[in-house]
Structure 1
Amino acid sequence: MTLFRLGYVAMSVNVQNASPSQTMTYQRFKLLRDREAAIRKLERIAQSNIQNCLRLLKHNKAHDIKFFRLSSRLVPLAGHDELEEWNYLSAIKEDLRELGAFSNSEGMRLDFHPDHFVVLNSSDKKILKNSLKVLKYHYLLLHYMGFDPTHRCVFHLGGRYKDKEKSLERFIDNWGLVPEGIQKMVMIENDDTSYTLKDCLYICEKLSIPHVFDIHHHLANHDGERWEEHWERVVNTWSHSPLPVKMHISSPKSQKEFKSHADFVDLGLLLEFVSKANGSTEQIDCMIEAKQKDNALFKLAVELKEHPNIEMLSDSSFIWKD
């Protein structure tokens, strides 16, 4: 029997004025004549973002939600080429420590999903360098939160660059350029355009990287593969991880906009996954990627409670009963 836990992404539609992604563009930054004052403003925005994350975690605690994805935009302009001298961590380390301490005290699993510009299979050295810079930023945030960064950051394999096989091998070649600490942080997810579940498993098994199965992406890009036939391999990629298996669940917005996320998650899609994955491992954390954020989780929980094969153990966790 498997414990299934539900989580959601980055922000709440219920907690007002709590965006963890407030920002300032570099164009706006340049307009501020006093550079030091402009940097202090960036730091205040970052502190506000982290405190808003803490508000979201307290909201999650009230609903017994133990799984949450942090916004990657906590610190605006962190790592920008024109702000390399800025030690942004000195201003936010206490806020990060507070966030991490609360999460740890409540047994919450937090992680990150950097944007699509993190590409480790690029032949362009500048793109690779920038990708590593972004990953280091996430590593440092996790470190200052007091987390073991192991398997806390998921991203895609990258571009096809007109030759998928060569691009897969280039990922392996470039992996040797990735610092060991960042290597340990990484998880790989199948995407909706370039790399299927089977492609990702090739890399994950070769480099001992956990695979995060995205069922929506699989439906959009599968080359005839049936995920059930590879599920044992997915679970095995987590055998060396201190964390439970993780997957992503979302529903297509429409047939015309199949790759876009819907407001909510289709119950049938989740139940099909749960019934087939049940018993394969002790725990699976299911990240809901839906436009309605926590409302999507709440709606799904209400629907799950009504199903005869589901036993809810909390507001966001359940088991499947045969």
Structure 2
Amino acid sequence: MTIVRLGYVAMSMELKNASPSKTMTFAAFQKIADREAAIRKLERIALTNLENTHRLLKHNAFSEVHFYRMTSRLIPLANHEAILDWDYMKPLKEKLSEIGDFASKHNMRLDFHPDHFVVLNTSDLEVLKNSLKTLKMHYLLLKGMKIDPTHRCVLHVGGNYNDTEQSLERFIENWMDVPRGIQKMIMLENDDTSFTLDDTLYLCEKLGIPLVFDYHHHLAHHQNINWEENWDRVVATWKDSTLPIKMHISSPKSETEYRHHSNYVDVNMFFNFLNEIKGTVPEIHCMIEAKKKDEALFTLMEEIRHRDDVEIIDGSSFSLK
């Protein structure tokens, strides 16, 4: 038997006025004559984002959703070169602790997926430095929530730079400069244009990194369409993790825009995957990457309820018969 738990990304379509990604541009920051007042405003925005994150977790608990990806935009202008003296963690300490306590009480898996500008296989030392700075912020946020940062941050391999082999080797070289605590935080995902499942497996197996399999990305970009042949290897990358294996699920917007995510998840496409992996793992957590966020999750669960090859556990979980 395999238990399947669904999650969603960052925003709720049902909970109003709860954006966890409110921001402030540096241009707006500069327009505030009193620098301390400008920093206090940044802190108020960050606290609003954390309060809305807490509201989203309460919404998840009520809806029996146990898996949630937090936005990486919780703290506006964090690590901006002009305000590196700002200790953004200090005013957030109490709220971060509340969020972590709530997630722990309700047995929620929380994680991050930093933006595309976090690139570990870059040849530009400044880009690498800024990437590590951003990853450190994620590490500190998780620690502030009293969440073990291990395997909580999924990344793409990075840029291809028109040379897949060299780009993979550069990732390995740069990995040696990544602090151990941040290394342990990272999972890698196959993408839809540059690095296939085979490419990503190469790195994950060599460096001991869990692989987050993105089924939609694989269908859009692969060397070998038969991902099932490598599934045991994907599972093995999670052997040292205390967390259940994680994957991403989404559906193409259309045949002509195949790489773009649809509003919802095609239940038949999803079960094409699930029927192949049934029984291979005791539990799998599936992050829905769909435009309609939690609405896509609830819609998918409603369709799944009508199937006779599952047993419903709760609002976001089921087992495969």
Q: What range is the shorter-chain TM-score in?
A: over 0.9
CA drift at 1:290: 0.5
Letter in 1 for 2:245: V
CA drift at 1:183: 0.3
SS at match of 2:47: helix
C-alpha distance in structure 2 between counterparts of 1:225 and 1:296, whole Å: 26
C-alpha distance in structure 2 between counterparts of 1:60 and 1:263, whole Å: 20
Q: Percent sequence identity over matched residues?
A: 59
Q: What do residues 184-225 of structure 1 show as CA deviations (whole Å, max 9, x unaligned)?
A: 000000001000001000000000000000011111101233
Alignment gaps of 5+ in structure 2: none
Letter in 2 for 1:254: S
Report the RMSD for the aligned CA atoms in angstroms: 0.6
CA drift at 1:255: 1.4
C-alpha distance in structure 2 between counterparts of 1:158 and 1:236, whole Å: 23
Q: What do residues 50-72 of structure 1 show as CA deviations (whole Å, max 9, x unaligned)?
A: 01000000000011100000010
C-alpha distance in structure 2 between counterparts of 1:288 and 1:260, whole Å: 14
The residue number in structure 1 matching 2:59 is 59
The residue number in structure 1 matching 2:35 is 35
Matched, 1:170 2:170: yes
The residue number in structure 1 matching 2:185 is 185
Alignment gaps of 5+ in structure 1: none
SS at match of 1:311: strand
Matched, 1:158 2:158: yes
The residue number in structure 1 matching 2:234 is 234
C-alpha distance in structure 2 between counterparts of 1:270 and 1:159, whole Å: 28
- Runs of at least 4 residues of structure 1 off by over 4 A? none
Q: What do residues 218-256 of structure 1 show as CA deviations (whole Å, max 9, x unaligned)?
A: 111012331111111100000000100000000011112
| Residue correspondence of structure 1 range 195-234 to structure 2 within 5 A | 195-234=195-234
SS at match of 2:219: helix
C-alpha distance in structure 1 between counterparts of 2:278 and 2:95, whole Å: 39
TM-score normalized with structure 2 length? 0.99
CA drift at 1:161: 1.1
The residue number in structure 1 matching 2:90 is 90
CA contact (8 A) 2:67 2:108 kept: yes
SS at match of 1:58: helix
Aligned length: 321
SS at match of 1:88: coil
SS at match of 2:102: helix
Letter in 2 for 1:305: R
